[in-house]
Structure 1
């Protein structure tokens, strides 16, 4: 019984990743922030580290798998400890935390600076990255809560 959270977290992570992918697709189609291309920056960084070219699908696959597994499992494991009374509220808390880490650690590693400020686009990349993380994490929280209604009522056992 204690392992059921794993498959629920995997399904919720997959749904969150799918929502995030849809948002990124819409960003591309609408031409929003064309200079802010985190997947292209990740691709360039991976190419630099590996010393070879990296296919454009690799950063997307890494992101999708990471969101579907690692972050989904982290969310499921810490669901009971996250602030908020609903899956969506817990998703917001998880997303804001992820956004802070991404802005302060991941973006600087990609040479974009904290919250991608080195792009010279002001606060817009930071706000869009917050939207990216909240799209993922709120969907993650909603699906996880729907799959595990006992948790929604306050039970904290994994």
Structure 2
């Protein structure tokens, strides 16, 4: 039974991570919210914590691997307990919970303040971070749900 949800979670997490990466690539290419650079903020925080320069690829790789493994495995484990009847609805619930955690815990830890309010850009970073998380979690939920139906 354990193998059953692990491979589904891994595939779904990889797909969700690709969707998130594509959104972040489009953000960079279009110049959207240039003052909101969460990966650069993470890179600076990691460099400060470790006392040495961290290459820019490290925060991107950490995000991708976290989404493709840790978060997706948590989603697969929680799937039966999440609210909603479809994978998409469950992905939405997971994403909103993740957005709250990111906004209230992660962003303050990397120096951006709650929901990146420390940047002084109003609600825009909070809304874009919601889009970032939902790009991941909705694809994660849809793919996992589709794989779950194939039993």
**TM-score w.r.t. length of structure 1:** 0.93
Structure 2: where are the runs of 5+ without partners? none
Which whole-Å CA distance do the structure 2 matches of 1:85 and 1:94 have between them?
13
Matched residue count? 151
Could you tell me which residue of structure 1 aligns to residue 84 of structure 2? 84
Deviation at 1:119, TM superposition (A): 0.2
Gaps of 5+ in 1: 152-158
Alpha-carbon separation, structure 1, partners of 2:26 and 2:87:
25
CA RMSD of aligned residues (A): 1.0
Cα distance in 2 between the residues matched to 1:13 and 1:33:
26
Structure 2 matches for 1:9-158, cutoff 5 A?
9-149=9-149
Q: Which runs of 4+ in 1 moved over 3 A?
A: none
The alignment's TM-score, normalised by the length of structure 2, stands at 0.98
| Structure 1 residue 150: Cα displacement | 6.1
Q: Distance in 2 between matches of 1:146 and 1:84?
A: 14
